[in-house]
Structure 1
Amino acid sequence: MKPLIYSAAAAALLIGSSAQAADITIGVPSWPSAKAGAAILKNLAEREFGASVTLTPGTNPVIFAAMASGKGDMDVHPEVWLPNIQGIVDEYQDNVVLGKTMFQGEQGDCVTKATADKLGISSITDLANPEIAKQFDSDGDGKGEFWVGATGWASANTEKVKMRGYGLADLYEPETIDEALAYARIGEKEKKGEPYVFYCYTPHHIFAQYDLVMLEEPAHDDAKWNMIQPDEDPQWYEKSSVSTAWKPAEIHLAYSKSLEERAPELITLFENYSPTSDMVADWTYQIAVKGRDENELAQEWIADHPDVVDKWLGL
């Protein structure tokens, strides 16, 4: 197994550049797979290139604006989901480099299989039945609870518009709470025999943790998908319209263009880093379900996968 600290390729880059070790910051969005990827990147950059890496939480708009500034406040986004934040990517394309597609994901709305069987639902349109909607109303306010994502997620905004497109806006209250809290409710609701509907995406550990059904939707149609985000127009909700399924998501790494001069030795890693959806699902399962420490998991995974690591290092 090759040594983890200062591989031959990394040492050559450092010696050849005569530059000091890089000091970078990785912006970390709130979802589990982004946290896992950030930990992997941090350990690789530090062990293989002697970099000093800080992990800083942030939302997509904050991370992209910081990367574009080139000041080093944030330099890397470990997991950019498209088309979710296409507008942000387009806005900063001159100063932020978007890497190749690492893996694909799927997005939609889920219920547990127990809920699907109990209520006889399989499609998002089944939720438009007022009698079905009543089953999701646990607080007695006359509307069912529907978790659309965490506050600040572009996907949560899209889900709100999609609810209206499917005729669900008057029947359900869109909830935006932390992802961990929302997914904890799945188990709570299941124990009580109560239904729960929520935004879901793959790869994600939740599909290994629970038996879930992603509700059927009309196939994605660009003509029926007009999504405007709040940072693009204050009247985004009124002007948006969405009434079909998400198209397959493409997930990328992004980094500040300033790194090409500030930390050129790391560019090969950022360009080659390409975890598979199975890798990401396993990372998140280990962290979120098994309770593994992100940093310890990253170190162990890197040590156990030298061939994959070599490819990411361009060896």
Structure 2
Amino acid sequence: MINKKAILKMTTGATAAAMMAMPISANADAHMKPGSGTTIDMARASWDTGWWQAEVYSQLLQELGYDVSRITTLDNPPFYQSVAQGDVDLWVNGWFPLHNSYEDAFSQGAEKIGYVAKGGALQGYLIDKKTAEEHDINYVEDLTKDDIQKLFDANGDGKADLVACPPGWGCETVITHHFEAYGWDDDFNAIKAGYSASMADALGRYENGQPIFFYTWTPNWTVGELPPGEDVVWLQMKETKLPEDQADLADATTVEGLEGCRGEQPCDLGWPANDIRPVANSDFLENNPAAAELLKQVSIPIGDIFDQNAQMNDGADSPEDLKQQASTWIEDNRDQVDKWLKAAREAAQM
């Protein structure tokens, strides 16, 4: 008859002996690098103002021992589909409520976790300050007047040219909704080419004394290059009309004391403020408690993102620049970073 208790005792004893025989340095390394041996398939958004944040998180994950050998650039639709299916593990470029249209992913294997930046991501429409003051333009609706449209018509089609967002971006979906909801098709021409190139063209027109009309978000290099209140102004919306997936946020589109806003405060931008959040595959989070805890812990001040975006716009935008900027930020914030890493390592021991 097999003595199960004896076998269990022998097995337990052997395991204990093996653990006793393991070098102390190996135990220490396993604690410091709980992600050792695990490769993370990380993505980043197609807008380059989010690439630095992705690099910061990548380097922190590597400090935990994870292999993050490459980061794949994806538009919103393929990312949310891929992360739900487990083909991609995570990114840190989720914008909510802007990305609410991808909520199906969160019932199919993905989840939001932690905050890169909470509540500080603004969006809206802007024009140059000179034209706003000369023609008393306070609202986007003011630009639908025929004589005002002509001021912003760079291609001669009779419509005001608006630098919008490329297809696949969450803001492109909302802007398309605005065109339908407000009936802007006869008034505005939405430029949906590459955003950075389109904004560079608008900046060139501005420097030549021509009016400009564009959408932007914060943090973004555009508001560093064209500071609201100095070079450009935020325009308000007389009526808020959001897509169905954001309809419950119609009362959350005002910002009190917004610098550079035309008209009376609070400033109604017509867009709710966003949280920038990591999004990860649920199975990945369950199997990697250290990574999950790190995603919960880390946050980056909006001001620091502005500063990096300004460096990038000044030409420091190569992959090597991004890596250096991320490692410099990590070392400049080493005390806080070490607390985040400590919490992640402890989560792996539970």
Say yes or no: TM over 0.5.
yes
Q: Please tell me whether the aligned partners of residues 27 and 58 of structure 1 are also in contact (alpha carbons under 8 angstroms).
A: yes
Deviation (angstroms), 1:273: 1.8
Q: Which amino acid aligns with 2:145?
A: N
Q: Distance in 2 between matches of 1:279 and 1:42?
A: 17
- Tell me the CA shift for residue 103 of structure 1: 1.8
* Residue 168 in structure 1 maps to residue 193 in structure 2: no
Give CA deviations for 1:161-216 in whole Å, capped at 9, x if unaligned: 21343342201111111111122023211122221211111122211111321111
Does the aligned pair in 2 maintain the 1:26–1:54 contact within 8 Å?
A: yes
Change (3 A) 1:115 1:25: farther
Structure 1 stretches (4+) deviating beyond 4 angstroms? 8-11
Match of 2:341 in 1: 313
In structure 2, the residue matched to 1:272 is 297
For 1:274 and 1:10, the matched residues in 2 are separated by 26
Q: Which residue of 1 aligns with 2:323?
A: 295
Q: Percent identity?
A: 24
Match of 2:272 in 1: 247
Structure 2 counterpart of 1:85, which letter?
H
Q: How far apart in 2 are the matches of 1:308 and 1:184?
A: 36
Residue 159 of structure 2 corresponds to residue 140 of structure 1: no
Deviation at 1:24, TM superposition (A): 1.0
Shift in Å, 1:120: 3.0
CA contact (8 A) 2:89 2:280 kept: yes
Greater fraction of residues in helix: 2
Asked if 1:199 corresponds to 2:215, the answer is yes
CA distance in 2, matches of 1:226, 1:112: 27
Could you tell me how far apart the structure 1 residues matched to 2:211 and 2:314 are? 22
Counterpart CA distance in 2 for 1:244 and 1:40 is 30
Deviation at 1:87, TM superposition (A): 2.5
Does 1:179 find its partner at 2:195? yes
Alpha-carbon separation, structure 1, partners of 2:90 and 2:300: 16
- Say if 2:176 is the partner of 1:151: no
> What is the CA–CA distance in structure 1 between the aligned matches of 2:184 and 2:61, rounded to whole Å?
46
Q: Deviation at 1:263?
A: 3.3
Q: Secondary structure at the match of 2:300?
A: coil
With the length of structure 1 as denominator, give the TM-score of the two structures: 0.82
Shift of 1:271: 1.6
Structure with the greater alpha carbon radius of gyration: 2
Q: Following TM superposition, by how much is the alpha carbon of 1:296 offset from its aligned partner in structure 2, in angstroms?
A: 1.2
Equivalent-residue separation in structure 2 for 1:312 and 1:299 (angstroms): 15
Q: Which structure 2 residue ranges, 5 or more long, are not aligned? A: 1-26, 247-267, 344-350
Q: CA RMSD in A?
A: 2.6
Structure 2 match to 1:216? 236
